[in-house]
Each structure stands twice: as C-alpha cells, then as structure tokens.
Amino acid sequence: GTVAPNLVAAVSEQRQWDRLMEMARLGAITGADGSPGVNRPCLSPLDREARRLLIGWGRELGLTPSIDALGNLFFRQEGREAGLAPVLTGSHMDSQPAGGRFDGIWGVLAGLEAIQALREAGITPRRPIELVAWTNEEGGRFAPGCMGSMAYAGHSAPTSWDAVEDGEGIRFGDALREQLALEADLPRRPLGVVEGQAPHAYVEAHIEQGPRLETEGYDIGVVTGIQGSRWFLVELRGESAHAGTAPLSTRRDAVQDMVRAVTALNALMDDPTDVLRFTVARIEVHPNSSNSVAERVRFTIDFRHPAAAVLAARGDAIEPTIRAAVQHCEVTVTERFHAQPADFAPLVTEAVARATAAQGLRALRMPSGAFHDAQFMVPLCPTGMIFVPSRRGISHNPAEYSSPVQLAAGTRVLAQVLAELAEG
C-alpha cells in the first residue's frame, strides 16, 4: 500500500487525453445537444482504423501485439521472470451507435498509459503484463456483446455467432474473417487460456456510466462485482392487411400484440425496490408502413438483476408471459445472452482499495450495473475493476464525459495495481 512516487508521476494526463481525443476522431458524431460523441461499430472500417492506431502505439512502446481467433488484440510486456502467468488489463474499442468518447476505449488506453508509466519509472515487475482490446463488447452491431471475452473464457463456442447478422445482413463470421485476414501479419495466439495458464489476475478500468461517484463525491469506484444480465429477441408473426379495409376483428396485428406483450412484461418486471432493470429499446416492424397492418415485429429485451434467483425466475417467466399475452401472432423467443451475477476477488479489490488510499483518493466500494468483459474473467482468475466518475452519470450517449484529471487519477490507480499484482 505504499505509493511508488516515480510511477505515479510517470502517468501522463496529457498524453492519455491526447490519445483518447485522437481515437475519438474515428467515428466522431454530434449528439442532439451538440456533444462530441462516437459511433464506432465493432469490426467496421472505423474500428479497424482504431485497432491500427492502437497497434502502432503499442509497437512504439516496444510491446509485441498478437491476435486470437476472435480478433481479441493483445500486447505483451515481459516481466523479470520467465514462465509466470501474466496480469491482464484492458477493455474494448467498439462503441454504441450513439456512444461517447470514453466507454471502453479509456480502459484500453489507461492500460497502455500504465504500462508506459511503468517503463518510464524503470519498474519491471516479476510477471508479464498483457493489455487486451476485446472484440465486440457492446453488441450494438452484432448481438450479443462480450463475444471476445466470452469466447476467451470458454463460456461460449466461438463459432456460435458466425451467422449473427448486422442491420445490413453482414454476418459476424464474415466480418471477423476479413479482420483476421487484414491483421494476418500479427502473430496468432490460441484462443483462450494458453496451455492451461490462466492470467494471474484481470483488472479493467472503465468509466462508471452512472451517477454515484459524482453525486456522492468520490474519485474512484472500487468495483465489487457486476449484476446479472439476460438478453432476449422476440419475434411476433401476424398478417399484413390494408389499414382502411381490414376489420379490427379479423386482424392479426403484430404491433398490437407487441403492446400486449410489453404491458404484461412490465407487470412481470414490477419491482418496488427499484433494483431490477428491464429495457425494450430496439423494435423492427415489417412492413413498417403507416397504412399497412404490421405482419411482423421483432423486439429486444434487456433484463438485469444482481440476485441470481431473481435473474433466473423472472427471466424464465419472460417467454410464458409473452405467450399468454399475445392474442393473434405466432411467437418466437430466443435468449441471446446470459451473464450470471459476478463477485470480484479480494486479491484485486483490496489492491485497488490500497492504491486509492495510498494516493489520497476518495474511494467508494460499489457494484456495476453495466456488464463488462470482466464479468467473464471471474471464473478464470481473480478479477476486479476500477471506475472513475461520469459527469451526470451519462453514458451510451455522446454527452458522456470524464475529465482529464479524473481519468488520470484512475490510470494512476491502475498503474499501481498492475505493479503490485505483477510483483506477486
């Protein structure tokens, strides 16, 4: 728990901010309120440029890049002793369609800055440190999110997403193969834990994406775990008809059945404690014409809860609830993502708590409402996360903001945590 003064001083607020702003140019958008946001879909040309930029920065630092079969991008800094499991840090570079400049990418660039600071401070820990940029965390273009980390952790077979299509009918498998061909010059590493050697620990830095740190006056979140999430895709199939002639009594209207289904789901998901999270936010209507009765509706469900029992019981009730509510349509419900609630390990949470205390920062122990790649590392190795405040708690929005000072504070904590864990 002592501060390594030269390490903390070597973290450059300006260099980290400049890199963030350079990345933010790749997919720059303007939000409704004029905020500068980012739209950088997974495996899009912009994501490819972002990867190239990161590879260049990693190489400048003398780090060796490599990729695995899911396109997860790794950079390795060797330690003093050969043969030891690495400490892994990182996050993701893809964004939401109307996303901010910090979600994910900060965790990657914080890892890079922390490794650079270690080198400049002349510190070579016993263990290697690896930086990772996970493929497709957001799931905005190809659902679900966290494909890269799930495949790495052996949670899902990597080929299970080959046929997942984006909005233009491009398959994930094809986009990935193209990416792997573009980066064929990089050394390939086996997918997942290499030769049975799981990381010694995994630490992910991320913006909070909620309001607690700012409102309650803290600099750093010591993340204690992540709530569970389940995603479903619902398809209702009715029959198209003329809006001016078809009697209401004979219609098989998919939009009306969707309204019945969502109303019943709102009742199922009622929670007086306000802990549960339930979101319907993506709706596709066919033929999507104001004077044709809808013959098909697809909508998404995002359901989250910190308690495994609630996640199981109410999640399992989703399909029967929809079937009971729908009057005219055929129903298909597909579960596309299931992440169990995860508890982080004291090895990492206590290292984060010690580093914040040593650096005189105010820290709050808190769970994460958002899911993260870290969730899938929990069964593999001691895992934890570091949060920094998000202005007004806003994220998944171009208005997302954390200041250069706040981000540098998070990176100083990360640097100390990496140094300590990699020495152990």
Which residues form the interface with ligand GLV (CB under 6 A)? 138, 145, 370-371
Choose among Mn ion, ligand GLV, none what residue 158 binds, the Cβ cut-off being 5 to 8 Å by kind: none
Q: How far apart are CA 337 and CA 358, in angstroms?
A: 39
Residue 90 interacts with, from Mn ion, ligand GLV, none (CB under 5-8 Å by kind) = none
d(CA 18, CA 345): 33
Q: How far is the CB of 337 from ligand GLV (least distance, A)?
A: 10
Residue 138 or 257: the one with the smaller Cβ distance to ligand GLV is 138
Nearest distance from C-beta of residue 67 to ligand GLV, angstroms: 22
CB of 187 to ligand GLV, least distance (A): 30
Our CB check for ligand GLV shows the closer of 138 and 253 to be 138
In sequence order, the β-bridge partners of residue 207 are 388
Task: State how far the alpha carbon of 422 is from the alpha carbons of 123, 354, 419, in Å.
Answer: 11, 15, 5
What pairing do the DSSP bridges indicate for beta strands 87-92 and 129-134?
parallel
From the list Mn ion, ligand GLV, none, partner contacted by residue 210 (C-beta under 5 to 8 A by kind): none
First to last CA, the chain: 13
CB of residue 104 to Mn ion, shortest distance in Å: 4
Cβ-proximal residue to Mn ion, closest one: 104
Q: How far is the CB of 164 from ligand GLV (least distance, A)?
A: 17
CA distance 152 to 132: 11
Q: Give the containing element (helix H, strand E) for 408.
A: helix 404-423
- Find the shortest distance in angstroms from Cβ 402 to Mn ion: 13
- The answer to whether the CB of 138 falls within 8 A of the CB of 95 is yes
Nearer to ligand GLV, 161 or 371 (CB): 371
CB of 140 to ligand GLV, least distance (A): 8
Whether 389 and 218 have beta carbons less than 8 Å apart is answered as yes
Helix (H, G, I), strand (E, B) or coil at 234: strand
65 contacts which partner out of Mn ion, ligand GLV, none, CB within 5 to 8 A by kind? none
> Among Mn ion, ligand GLV, none, what binds residue 104 when CB lies within 5 to 8 Å by partner kind?
Mn ion
Question: Nearer Cβ to ligand GLV, position 145 or 315?
Answer: 145
Interaction partner, residue 161 (ligand GLV, Mn ion, none; CB < 5-8 Å by kind): none
Indicate which of ligand GLV, Mn ion, none lies near residue 341 (CB less than 5 to 8 Å, by partner kind).
Answer: none
Contacted entry of Mn ion, ligand GLV, none for residue 150, CB cut-off 5 to 8 Å set by kind = none
Closer by beta carbon to ligand GLV, 57 or else 278: 278
Strand partners, 235: 298, 332
For residue 90 the two structure tokens come to 């990182």
CB of 421 to Mn ion, least distance (A): 22
Q: Which is nearer to ligand GLV, 58 or 139 (CB)?
A: 139
If contact means CB under 5 to 8 A according to the sort of partner, which of ligand GLV, Mn ion, none does residue 105 touch?
A: none
Q: Which residues have CB under 8 Å from 244's CB, separation 6+?
A: 291
**CB-nearer residue toward ligand GLV: 77 or 136:** 136
Could you tell me the smallest distance in angstroms from the CB atom of residue 417 to ligand GLV? Answer: 22
Stretch that binds Mn ion, among 42-50, 98-106, 194-202, 290-298 (CB under 5 A): 98-106
Residue 256: other Cβ atoms inside 10 A: 20
- Name 208's Cβ contacts closer than 8 Å, sequence gap at least 6: 214, 221, 387, 388, 389, 390, 393, 395
From 100-108, 171-179, 319-327, 409-417, span contacting Mn ion (CB under 5 A): 100-108
DSSP state of 328: S
Per DSSP, the three-state class of 268 is helix
State in angstroms the smallest separation of the CB of 206 from ligand GLV: 10
| Between 277 and 286, CB nearer to ligand GLV | 277
Judged by CB under 5 A, the chain residues 102 through 161 that form the site for Mn ion are 103-104
Q: Characterize 5-28 residue by residue with b for buried, 16 or more Cβ atoms within 10 angstroms of its Cβ, and e for exposed.
A: eebbebbbbeebbebbeebbebbb
Cα distances (angstroms) measured from residue 394 to each of 99, 207, 407:
10, 10, 16
Residue nearest to ligand GLV (CB): 370
Looking at 11-122, list the stretches that DSSP marks H as alpha helix, in order from N- to C-terminal side: 13-24, 45-60, 105-120
Rank residues 20 and 258 by Cβ distance to Mn ion and give the closer one. Answer: 20
What is the maximum span of the chain, computed from C-alpha positions, in angstroms?
79
- Closer to Mn ion by Cβ: residue 133 or 265: 133
Helix, coil or strand: residue 31: coil
Residue 94 interacts with Mn ion (CB under 5 A): yes or no? no
For 141, the token pair is 């273009």
Residues forming the site for Mn ion (CB under 5 A): 103-104
